Amino acid sequence: MRRLLVALSLCAPLTVAAQSAAPLPIPGRSVVTTTLGIVAASQPLAAQAGVQILAQGGNAIDAAIAANATIGLMEPTGNGVGGDLFAIIYDAKTGRLHGINASGWAASGLSAELLRTKGMTGMPQRGVYSVTVPGAVAGWHAMRERFGTLPFATILAPALYYAEQGFPLTEVIAGGWRRSQTFLASHPNSAETFLPGGKAPGAGEVFRNPALASTLRRIAERGRDGYYTGPTAQAIVDILRENGGTMTLADLAEYQPEWIAPISTTYRGWTVHELPPNGQGIAALMMLDLMEQFPLRDWGFHSLDAMHVMIEAKKLAYADMLRYVGDPRFGRIPVTQMLDKAQAAVRAKQIDMTKAACLVTPREFTSISETKGSDTIYLTVIDAAGNIVSLIQSNYSGFGSGLVPKGAGFMLQNRGGLFTLEAGKINTLAPRKRPLHTIIPAFMEKDGTRIGFGIMGGWNQSQAHAQFVSNIADHGMSIQQALEAGRFTKESFDGCELDIEGSVPQSTRDALAARGHTLKVAPARSGTFGFGQAVMSNAQGVHFGASEPRHDGAAIPQPAPVGPLKR
């Protein structure tokens, strides 16, 4: 019998044996484990700010807002109160998921027709016409009002402390700040705020932002009205009007975020949740539906066929996403058809296992410009009760629009750059319309295990999400392994070029090139592949946290409550 088993193993399918699958990665960090809460963020002091709120009796929602407010100060290269926010909230008491879309709309009077009369043929990526109403603070307010337990004055206290007293910059953030120095110097308000002494602060240098402290204090005192009305709102409108913009005080005061139901698909027994359009999360789900048609687990981690399938699935899913995703208030988006498993099985047959496709077309159900924007933060929180917040927040690209409201201490986002000026599209610029969004939080669950996760980075995000899910569902990785594992990313929508990490085996990279993929190999700790965090709870009530080493971040556990020793 033993000889027979050996003989059968030697006769195993050559396609599997020839895959040369890589061993699972040995993570550079251990998973953080506790029965209490965890905050994972790309800046340790911001994660700690969230932990402080947990220690004061706050829940995951309170802690997420505190961490976001603090990281907006500390990582203005990617986020802040001038940007947008999306979140998925798992309510442990009811077992329900809730989504919030706090993406802002275009200003009144801002239209494709207006910009075309100014001689523009594509959306500007910086400046006044790239600015949409910032949604982050309205998102905080809605989250706290529905699920929070502490007042804003308590939640924002850590961010206020660091804004006034200062904090030392971490390495990756300092690098991004330095690369934006020329951009920041182009306007006196941004230079005054972000270039103290005329230069970008370096790693280990202390930075203070008293103007942002004033903005945060108004929010602490008045909630959303402290931002969308009064001095902050007036400063926003003033800087935009000075530069020819059309935003009004009513555009700010009347803006409201939207509570939405997450959309989902299943993959190898896991249910994976994303938020619906106007975000790109549906592309991650479409990728997974395509990947599920192939035996990635049998082929093995970082094997040729597995990598090829994921890359090709990305192209097909993104083609559909770019055709159909925009603001659903302005047109019909065929979400049901896009997530139809039977259609995915048919679509998967378009993947040629012998060569890369350099041009794919979207499906037809009875273009926007290919802009890049990877400056975003993702954070996630779990509290002792098992509530989870998966939150992403962004300016869009490299600090944002370049416009800082006078005395406000924050940059306005340039999310409007993702509109198109082409007439008749779901994503055509129009007044009070929200653009197609790149930023997406995610959540997955199976048999009592729940994971809040996200990986930021422009168009990288959906494809990174799908790879993370596959790492867990196909290859049994821990959340830390799944974050650290080498990734590919394809920022463009046509052609066969893509970026790939050097940790993907040389043999696999060579074989991908032989199939027609044009590879650009990136070194370790590159920002090309985004930065992610994850938290997890299991059926036994144990909580886990992970933060990948491509950034400065950390997953920090909540300390045990300590009081005077009892005799």
53-103 pLDDT, tens per residue? 999 999 999 999 999 999 999 999 999 999 999 999 999 999 999 999 999
Phi and psi, residue 375, nearest 5°:
-100, 100
Residues of the chain with CATH 3.60.20: 20-32+263-269+286-325+335-370+456-557
223-275 pLDDT, tens digit per residue, is: 999 999 999 999 999 999 999 999 999 999 999 999 999 999 999 999 999 99
CA–CA separation, 499 and 111 (whole Å): 35
* Mean pLDDT to the nearest integer, 108-120: 95
pLDDT given at position 476: 97
With cut-offs at 50, 70 and 90, classify the pLDDT of residue 453.
Answer: very high
The bridge status of strand 543-547 relative to strand 270-274 is unpaired
Q: What is the pLDDT of residue 126?
A: 95
HSE-CB of 370 using CA atoms within 13 angstroms:
9
Q: Given pLDDT bands bounded at 50, 70 and 90, which one contains residue 4? A: very low
Please check whether the domain covering 20-32+263-269+286-325+335-370+456-557 is classified as CATH 1.10.150.
Answer: no
* Token couple for 413: 């986002």
Q: Residue 527 has what pLDDT?
A: 83
Q: Supply the mean pLDDT for the chain.
A: 92
* Rounded Cα distance, 489 and 467, in Å: 10
Instruction: Determine the pLDDT at residue 373.
Output: 43
Q: Quick check: 446 and 455 in contact, CB under 8 A?
A: no
Looking at the predicted structure, is the pLDDT value of residue 176 above 90? yes
| 353-362, 416-425, 507-516, 555-564: least confident range | 555-564
Residue 8 in this model has a pLDDT that exceeds 60:
no
102 CB-near residues (< 8 Å, 6+ apart): 84, 85, 86, 87, 135, 136, 138, 139, 142, 257, 258
Look up 154 and say whether it is catalytic. no
Q: What single string gives the DSSP state of each residue in 293-341?
A: TS-HHHH-TT-HHHHHHHHHHHHHHHHHHHHH-S-GGGS---HHHHT-H
Whether 370 shows a pLDDT value over 70: the answer reads: no
| CB contact at 8 A, 531 and 43 | no
Q: Is 400 helix (H, G, I), strand (E, B) or coil?
A: coil
CA angle 142, 147, 149 (to 5 degrees): 110
- Predicted local confidence at residue 259, as pLDDT: 98
Query: Would you say how long the chain is, in residues?
Result: 567
pLDDT tens digits, residue range 488-532?
999 888 899 999 999 999 999 999 999 999 999 998 788 889 999
DSSP 220-251: HHHTTHHHHSHHHHHHHHHHHHHTT----HHH
The closest alpha carbon to 256, from 149, 133, 148, belongs to 133
* Band of residue 199 on the pLDDT scale cut at 50, 70, 90: very high
pLDDT in tens, 272-287: 999 999 999 999 999 9
pLDDT band at 567 (very low <50, low <70, confident <90, very high): low
- Residue 397 has a pLDDT of 84
pLDDT surpasses 90 at 564: no
Give the pLDDT confidence score for residue 372 in this predicted structure.
Answer: 45
The pLDDT value given to residue 546: 98
Provide the residue type at 227 as one letter.
Y
By CB neighbour count within 10 A (0-12 exposed, 13-18 middle, 19+ buried), where does 363 fall?
A: middle
The confidence score (pLDDT) of residue 365 equals 65
270 half-sphere exposure, CB direction, 13 A CA radius: 24
Task: Output the 3-class SS for 457-521.
Answer: CCCHHHHHHHHHHHHHHCCCCCHHHHHHCCCEECCCCCCCEEEEECCCCHHHHHHHHHCCCEEEE
Compute and round to an integer the Cα radius of gyration of the chain. 23
Q: How confident is the model at residue 565 (pLDDT cuts 50, 70, 90)?
A: low
Q: How confident is the model at residue 37 (pLDDT cuts 50, 70, 90)?
A: very high
Which of 376, 380, 428, 508 is catalytic? The answer is 376
Q: Is the overall model pTM greater than 0.75, yes or no? A: yes
